[in-house]
A and B are shown apart, each in its own frame.
Chain A
Amino acid sequence: MLFTSFTFLYFQVLVVALRWSLPRRVVGPMLLVAGYTFYLSAGPIYALLISSVTIATWFAALHIERTRSKWMLGVSIAGLLLILGYFKYANFVLEQAFGIYRLLGGRPRSVHYSIVLPLAISFFTFELISYLIDVYRGEQAERSLWRFSLYIVYYPHLIAGPIVRAHELLPSLRSFKSFDGRQFSDGMFIALAGYFKKTVLADNLAPWADAVFSHPAAHSTFGTWMGVIAYTGQIYCDFSGYTDIARGCSLMLGLPLPDNFEYPYLSRSITDFWRRWHMTLSRWLRDYLYISLGGNRRGVLRQYRNLFLTMLLGGLWHGANWTFVAWGAWHGVLLCVHKVWSDKVVGTGPLVRARETLPYKVLAGSLTLLCVMAGWVLFRARTFQAASVVFGRLVRDVPGAGVMTGELPQPLSTAISCTVVLVIVHIFGYSHAGFDANRAMPAPVRGVFWAVIAIACFLLAESRATFIYFQF
């Protein structure tokens, strides 16, 4: 059940209606049923998996709380990672093993298992792991199984985040609040803004990005640059649009979810970028991986190593492909370089003051964006060969369709228009003008404003099957 489908729209209307009309004591069970209905709509086979791991984790957490058993924590996390590893990485690991065997002179028979990746497995596995570690670190385990299950299958965040920590959602599930009109209005606006980002911007940027990355050698330098820019915009609008829909829908139910994006393309450094991009994943990696590896406690070199390893594994989390690993490594290197730069170069001495000047900020912001875009090339390309062709086109002048020739193919001109709109709405959003305006408007005008956004989505949407982050 995609957020952009009619099924979901009617489903959401029904759940919101039930949420605010049913007695509070049955709201929780109703949301649990809604969550499982939502998950089952993608296919019933893996509902058993998610319910089994939920129940097992719930029991394990109670045991860990009572005994502080490190052994139980380790076994539980290993079990969860094994399941994730089997579904997501089994074929990848086999392929690498056979590759090594082949290098050593062996002639293995190629084996490829047909494994369907259960929807949302990366997200709910991370939530279950964070819950176990939090309980081990001293937080109280949830006593109610149905409430814990609801925390996992609560449908707005189930498929692609935000990755919600137990203490962020469970308290709201213990005592459901009464209707809050302002929160509802905020939710409506956030969800509609998300729909606009996804259906109008991301989906209209996608055709040109797809064209460039499918046949990178067939495009001019200008076209390739636009392809990379289009993908940069697409992935942001697709994922943050999804998050906004999730957060908006959840707010309509009176349950706030954490932010996931904070204008990442306005970052002034790569460290800043990771504080603004997929914030709940960054936070998870920091709290459960980086700190577990030692964080910055054992010297600068160990800190760099930990940073690099965290980003490498973060890359691998996105998918079983070396291009994702390279993307993670690229960001790991960038973070280390930035750490050196900010600690040793501009952190001390005469450049301290320069950091606050406008030219420095503009330069730093532009360089950061370029580095991020280079990362997206690795992220989007299916192979290193394809990525190298794209990089080659970016730096070598290859003539072809361009603005000056007036022969822009339709997807390219659409991508340019959407990029301009994205820049404008980015600035517009950064000043919080849209959000503030939504609150300040008289109620009837606000309703009409929502309808205008909905109609714009209806008329300008490009139909696409799914969200990018569903595959992770």
Chain B
Amino acid sequence: MAHVNTPPTDDRSESACAVDNRAAWVAILAFFATLFGADFALRRSRLGRTLAQESWYITRPDLYSNDPEGADILGLGDSRMGNAFNPFVTEQIIEMERGERLRVWDGGLPGAPPMAHLAWIQRALSHRHRPRMVLLAISPYMFSSRITRAPSRESLTTIFRLQDAPALVRAASNAEDVFTAFHAALFLSERVRPRLIEVFTRFTGLNPPASPGNQGFEDHPSADRATQNARAIGRVRGYREELTRPAARFGSEQQGYFIESLRTLRAHGIQTVVLDSLCASQMDAILGPESIYPEHIAWVRAQSRRFGATFVDSRHPPTMDDGDFSDADHVSTQGSERYSRWLAHEYIVPLLGGRRNLPPTDCRTVYDFEGPTLDGWTLDGPAVQNAMSDGARNGQRTVMGFEGQRLFNTYQDAYADSSVGVATSPVFTVDSREIRFRVGGGSSAQIAVELRVDGRVVRSAHGLDSEILHAVVWNVTQWRGRSAVLRIRDGATGAWGHILVDSVAMCP
């Protein structure tokens, strides 16, 4: 195989040539059949499925595409956006300020460059529930071809689908991008190639499946000041080489993808917000005039203006400080709440039409869980004893999305997730059209808030394996006038074996 000679001229008969011709066609068919067959086998195998499930780039966009509710507001960016943009807090602020229930998704992926944004946008446009607004978060290195090389390739081979080819052709600066995406859309082996090579040649084991997140959002633990500072300094050192002239180079094929994203969003009448990256103060040292950052951000601003997008300088939101970060540019869950509140209040709500003077709601709060005890409730089991808490308990991540000062929380200091219990409300007569409340915590079948009518469970809701409470609305018209009870059930003892409930209201 090291070197192959050209065959000598032959003196084959016509029939021998015909046999050779047939053999060549058979061999070609066998060649393609083997290649397609191998990929098909990989697709059906546990290995192929596991490798696909490992990839955030494959699972998250697929989750979004398969989510029947889609998103009214879609946030896109890299891991900074993934950590900082909290869909539930954003939903809550919009509901509070505009009385509108919009669905928000966080499409931030680690290292995702504008190429990934465009691929997400194509998915959003083909979703039956198209977004009204898209947020594009830009990071300092997104237009450096060297840094974005690996995530670019991953974006091309995972998020793009065959039907996205026209957008890719419009945006791509070279044909290779288009053909790579096309090839990957056909072959799973190409989509999971880096991991496949690791598994086969370096014998690395399989990784656990990628976290599905909650509407794309990922909780991020907070860090104390010293840890945050040490991590930030480490990251800044890494960035210095990439961002400081003359080694750094601004400008790459990613610019084409960014422009195409803006153009596409404008063409479809989708409001667009371009966000400057969120950074702790330690990053300022390397974002000065010697870095590519000013040139980078000036170009981003100009393009935003050109395509009618709103540019938001969210580098240092006034409501945040270094304590909200876990390193130089990733925020903790608490930081994400502050960031999302600020972003929603200052920009998203005004762009949606501003605050509305909402008429006083006719909803009547029946259980706000603000008191020290639950009067009239039947409490059975340690999990529901002393369940009223003012937020997170020891060992619990930051709890968000509740109203007032307290909520119902079955995560106990002494037992963590291992305790179980059932809390049952006094009997009441259903006299409204809707019951509204907020719920968080685990998603297992043993955990639920249930509406029981005549001893039968007629409505049920649970958390999304998250400490962020989300709003639930039950239409209960058909049980009007009937006697019912609310039951909060925590029967799970493993991870996410607790439930959070707040603000139960009856709405006519």
Contacts and interface: CB of A to CB of B under 8 A. Distances in A.
Interface in A422-472: 422, 425-430, 432, 434-435, 442-448, 450-452, 454-455, 458-460
A262 to B, nearest CB: 7
A425 B382 CA distance: 71
A434 B1 contact: yes
Given A6-B176, A181-B21, A459-B201, A447 B3 contact: no
B1 A447 contact: no
Contact of A182 (B10, B175, B176): B10
A262 B31 CA distance: 28
Contacts of A259: 5-6
A405 to B, nearest CB: 21
A410 to B, nearest CB: 9
Given A6-B180, A6-B183, A458-B189, A185 B23 contact: yes
B458 interface: no
A198 interface: no
A468 B179 CA distance: 24
Interface residues of B, number: 40
Contacts of A454: 31, 35
Interface SS of B by simple majority:
helix
A451 B31 contact: yes
A166 to B, nearest CB: 18
Contact of B5 (A184, A185, A426, A435): A435
Interface in B16-45: 17, 19-35, 38
A256 B7 CA distance: 10
B193 interface: yes
Interface in A279-299: none
Contact of B176 (A7, A425, A434, A451): A7
Contacts of B189: 458
Interface string A181-224: 11111101110010011000000000000000000000000000
A261 B31 CA distance: 27
B2 A197 contact: yes
Interface in B169-194: 175-176, 179-180, 182-183, 189, 193
A394 interface: no
A277 to B, nearest CB: 11
A5 interface: yes
Interface string A60-96: 0000000000000000000000000000000000000
Contacts of B21: 179-181
Contact of B27 (A262, A428, A446): A446
A10 interface: yes
Nearest to A259: B6
Given A182-B24, A262-B3, A426-B2, A447 B17 contact: no
Given A263-B3, A435-B5, A450-B27, A41 B175 contact: yes
Given A41-B175, A451-B31, A459-B196, A189 B20 contact: no
B472 interface: no
A447 B20 contact: no
A347 to B, nearest CB: 29
Given A5-B179, A196-B1, A240-B3, A181 B22 contact: yes
Interface of A: 1, 5-7, 9-10, 41, 179-186, 188-190, 193, 196-197, 240, 244, 247, 251, 256-259, 261-263, 422, 425-430, 432, 434-435, 442-448, 450-452, 454-455, 458-460
Given A259-B5, A429-B2, 20 more contacts: A5-B179, A6-B176, A7-B179, A10-B182, A10-B183, A179-B24, A181-B20, A182-B10, A182-B24, A185-B24, A188-B31, A189-B4, A257-B6, A261-B3, A430-B2, A446-B27, A447-B29, A450-B31, A451-B35, A459-B196
10 smallest CB-CB distances across A and B, nearest first, come from: A447-B30, A181-B24, A451-B34, A429-B2, A181-B21, A443-B26, A181-B20, A443-B23, A6-B179, A447-B27
